[in-house]
Structure 1
Amino acid sequence: MALDMLLSRNAGVLAVIAATGLTLTSIPAAAHAEHVAVSRRAADPGAEAAGGPAADRLADRTGREVAGAGAPALPTGVSARAWTVTDVRTGDVLAARNAHQRLAPASTLKTLFAVTVLPKFRAGAVHKVTPQDLTGIGPGSSLVGIQEGRSYRVADLWRGVFLRSGNDAVRVLAAMNGGWSATAREMQARARQLGARDTSVKSPDGYDSPGQVSSAYDLSVFGRAGLANADFARYCATTTARFPSRGSPSFEIQNTNRMLSGASGMRRYPGIVGVKNGYTSNAGNTLIAAAERGGRTLLVTVLNPQSGASNAVYQEAASLLDWGFRAAGKARPVGSLQAAAAPGGRAAPSADGARSGAGHRSATGRPVAAEVSREPGRWSETALWAVAGGFAVALAVGAVFGWRMYVRGRRTSGDGS
């Protein structure tokens, strides 16, 4: 009887050990699953925006403005249908409204075109324009004045894209890149690679086309990715440049971004970096603008202001940048672009007759993947596996001990006890 009680007691202990060991063994699996999920979100940051698990808080489409705790009051009078304020270095979104609402982007989509195509051709490479290169330009398009039969350096073509928003320059560069449709497909793939899930590319120049949309979130991703490229950063900061002409050596072109040029009733925004403005009848006024102050670079995207005021897109962008610089370091981010930036470096000085602002550092983005094992108050995955391993060993020892007790009990019972 005493032996039966001992065996029963040991069985209970062994059951507790087994249950504890199995439970704790599952903990690192759960931690691993969480780590994998976070890593997947970092590798494919648009998944949350697309409505995946733990949906992005920026996906709100109710028109509500969101800003992190501790932030100063958001500026009043911002009438844009959608906007974001982002820290370029970290990718943190400080505030937003309708960040994932899909809207026509107009020429701000040229940022994605540049991110996709600009790295492929040397600035000094020369291309002779054919009639086929300029086929299909939409009526009413903004043009820089590309002429058939004339040869242009790639740098001239990019200044035509960034300063004059020339759809003719985009057509020529797209032709060099394999054609209009191929470039659109490549831009679509690049958008997905960057985690931009709201964008559908139909016309690489941003011209209104059925089904062509993007979002404040995606355009911010493209602007941030572009600023990580020194050539992009230089072109988008250029205020005026000389452009080749058949009738004369060259003529001057000016950037249509009024925050950069200080034209048409706007003052040049202090610390302005660029990036790209746009307008179509369907999209209204659109703008991606970046500025640097106190060693911090912020980027705002403003889509389709509804106030009807002159220069509204620029004024609203300026007020959001002002707010962002006040809020930086105080406000908890409401989300992240989670987009990988290219390796950093200082932008090359402007050349070839181009006049631009001071040189800008290319933006560098930190990896956004959360390191679960290093978050305050959490055990690392390694530690959890070590604990589980210890309990597994204890479980095995207990099982051996129990088996030995069981065998002893059987022998004793066989002896007539």
Structure 2
Amino acid sequence: MTQLHTPKASRNQETGRLSFMSPVSPPAIRFPGRGGAGGGTSQPVAGTFSIVSAPMKIAQRSLLITSAALLTVSGLAPSAFAAPKPSGSPTAAPPARMSQVGGARLGVPGTQVNLATGVPVLPKGLTARSWIVTDAESGDVLASHNAHWRLPPASTLKMLFADTVLPRFPRDQRHQVVPTDLAGIGAGSSMVGIKENETYTVHDLWLGVFLRSGNDAVHVLSAMNGGVPQTVKDMQAHADALQAGDTHVVSPDGYDAPRQYSSAYDLTLFARSGLQKKDFREYCSTVRAKFPGATTSKGKGKPTRETFEIQNTNRLLSGDTDTSVYPGIAGVKNGNTTNAGATFTGVAERGGKVLLVTVMNPEKHEHDEVYKETAQLFDWGFKAAGKVKPVGVLVRPLNATPSARPSGAPSANATGAPQGTANAGSEPVKGDTAQSGGSRGAGTALAIATGLLVLLGGAVFLVNRRWPLPDLMRRRQRP
């Protein structure tokens, strides 16, 4: 049996695993980007998440539509809170000024949560530089810590890669790997073990991306997509369309590169968008699979293709020596590099609630620490859901249809900042409301337009009031 390629440890090696480890999104918009060098048969697990209906309150709905009407008719562009551009290296402390996309409080350094009677306290001993707990369907941010801090993402950036490229090739399409497909892979990258001159299906390649975090699989798919530079441009355009303004893509695989950053908030947006896609859900929830190895020929016999087993590097999905499989877990993606530390975004369901948790770079360097802190935040989130007042919201894609808008979430303007003050627990962003001092005629026009939009928009929201995650595959836990 062909053994998996196991490179020597280096700064970009996916670490902390056992030795055997391995659309609602809008169409892409072309933006300038820069390129850079990178980072079977499935066994899907049966089961689906329930679709949770989170009704929007009448008062909130009216305020949201009123704000949208005022901005639309008046032509006043809300002022965006400009986040600082990525620097050359991560800092030891979060910047004082961060993006306010999704709510003003998300741009404030430190932990943001609305504790009140009946709301459980946050877990003690969390050491991650950044984390966020969100309701995957309503988009509510239940709690966060430096949510918009721009940090190296490691292989969690592969979620954006998959969300961008996965829809472009049918899963049964076959591709013969040529040497140029594997050019430019970073030293010490995590690999699934792709061989030159062998043929793989797109399905095989995505299993290599999700289960083994294979940078070789990423580069082959990038070659099919027109090359690494083109794929980087496509990813950046898709990130921009998702309003992921903290993200700057340099390598499609998340390999450490200067000026490559994302944030816990943006990684959660990528996961949420990807989970709208059936194949994405299947791959990120697959625990283990058979992967094609080398083709061998014995004597005059017919050549045969060996296979070997690969297992998901997500330890909350596959388990580890001191980490239990998390009940209700369904993915999504982990990463680990020298610059990024350990990073992870996970999705899990319990009691009809679907939560997304992203954790970046725990300062406590114990084995599987990123998974342990994620599990603690999941536990807190499931207890707090429905009790805690949100501190922000996950914005919808710029080109999303009304049916894709999260229930109870503020309507997002072009900058991603929530309009008005309907976002519970968040302060209004400067410039979000219409400015006073206009003429009486303009005020009358605004009032009329607002009334009409409230009536029309109310009818729309009665039907389109959630962003469901249909048939989300997960690993059900038996008692």
Q: Does 1:329 align with 2:386?
A: yes
Q: For each residue in 1:167-218, what CA deviation from the matched residue of structure 2 results, as whole angstroms up to 9, or x when unmatched? A: 0000000000010011011111110100000111000100000110110010
Report if aligned partners of 2:99, 2:246 keep a CA contact under 8 Å in 1: no
Report if aligned partners of 2:268, 2:345 keep a CA contact under 8 Å in 1: yes
Q: List aligned pairs for 1:296-335, cutoff 5 A.
A: 296-335=353-392
| Gap change, CA 1:341 and 1:264, over 3 Å in 2 | farther
Report if aligned partners of 1:216, 1:303 keep a CA contact under 8 Å in 2: yes
Q: Which of the residues 193, 196, 200 maps onto 1:145?
A: 193
Q: Secondary structure at the match of 1:245?
A: strand
| Gap change, CA 1:329 and 1:38, over 3 Å in 2 | farther
Q: Which of the residues 233, 236, 251 maps onto 1:185?
A: 233
| Shift of residue 296, structure 1, vs aligned partner | 1.2
Q: Secondary structure at the match of 1:233?
A: helix
CA distance in 2, matches of 1:285, 1:133: 28
Q: Provide the residue aligned with 2:462 in structure 1.
A: none
Q: Which of the residues 67, 70, 74 maps onto 2:113?
A: 67
Q: Does 1:176 align with 2:213?
A: no
Q: Which of the residues 75, 98, 112 maps onto 2:160?
A: 112
Q: Residue type matched to 1:189 in 2?
A: A
Q: Does 1:33 align with 2:67?
A: no
Report if aligned partners of 1:46, 1:195 keep a CA contact under 8 Å in 2: no
Q: Residue type matched to 1:277 in 2?
A: N
CA distance in 1, matches of 2:194, 2:381: 39
Q: Residue type matched to 1:325 in 2?
A: F
Q: Provide the residue aligned with 2:447 in structure 1.
A: 384
Q: Secondary structure at the match of 1:249?
A: strand
CA distance in 1, matches of 2:73, 2:103: 16
| Gap change, CA 1:119 and 1:50, over 3 Å in 2 | farther
Greater RCO structure (CA 8 Å; 6+ sep): 2
CA distance in 1, matches of 2:444, 2:137: 29
Alignment: residue pair count: 337
Q: Provide the residue aligned with 1:21 in structure 2.
A: none
Q: Provide the residue aligned with 1:255 in structure 2.
A: 312
| Shift of residue 105, structure 1, vs aligned partner | 0.4
Report if aligned partners of 1:45, 1:195 keep a CA contact under 8 Å in 2: no
Q: For each residue in 1:353-377, what CA deviation from the matched residue of structure 2 results, as whole angstroms up to 9, or x when unmatched? A: xxxxxxxxxx98447417989x8xx
CA distance in 2, matches of 1:239, 1:372: 41
CA distance in 2, matches of 1:128, 1:314: 36
Q: Provide the residue aligned with 2:206 in structure 1.
A: 158
Q: Does 1:235 align with 2:292?
A: no
CA distance in 2, matches of 1:36, 1:310: 55
After superposing on structure 2, the runs of 4+ consecutive aligned residues of structure 1 that deviate more than 6 Å are 36-41, 44-50, 52-55, 341-344, 370-373, 380-383
Report if aligned partners of 1:199, 1:214 keep a CA contact under 8 Å in 2: yes
Q: Residue type matched to 1:239 in 2?
A: V
Structure 2: tracts of 5 or more residues without a match: 1-65, 85-96, 297-304, 413-417, 423-442, 452-479
Report if aligned partners of 1:50, 1:197 keep a CA contact under 8 Å in 2: no
CA distance in 2, matches of 1:267, 1:189: 37
Q: Residue type matched to 1:33 in 2?
A: L
Larger-Rg structure: 1
| Shift of residue 72, structure 1, vs aligned partner | 1.8
Q: Does 1:196 align with 2:241?
A: no
Structure 1: tracts of 5 or more residues without a match: 1-28, 345-362, 389-417
Q: Does 1:56 align with 2:140?
A: no
Q: Does 1:283 align with 2:283?
A: no
Q: Provide the residue aligned with 1:92 in structure 2.
A: 140
| Gap change, CA 1:274 and 1:36, over 3 Å in 2 | farther
Q: Provide the residue aligned with 1:356 in structure 2.
A: none
CA distance in 1, matches of 2:253, 2:221: 11
Q: List aligned pairs for 1:390-409, cutoff 5 A.
A: none
| Gap change, CA 1:131 and 1:186, over 3 Å in 2 | same
CA distance in 2, matches of 1:279, 1:88: 24
Report if aligned partners of 1:35, 1:372 keep a CA contact under 8 Å in 2: no
| Gap change, CA 1:134 and 1:300, over 3 Å in 2 | same
What is the aligned-residue RMSD (CA, Å)?
3.6
User: If the length of structure 1 is used for normalisation, what is the TM-score?
Assistant: 0.73
| Shift of residue 381, structure 1, vs aligned partner | 8.9
CA distance in 1, matches of 2:67, 2:332: 43
Q: For each residue in 1:244-298, what CA deviation from the matched residue of structure 2 results, as whole angstroms up to 9, or x when unmatched? A: 0115531100001110001232110000010000000111100001101111110
Q: Secondary structure at the match of 1:264?
A: coil
Identity percentage of aligned residues? 51
Q: Provide the residue aligned with 1:369 in structure 2.
A: 411
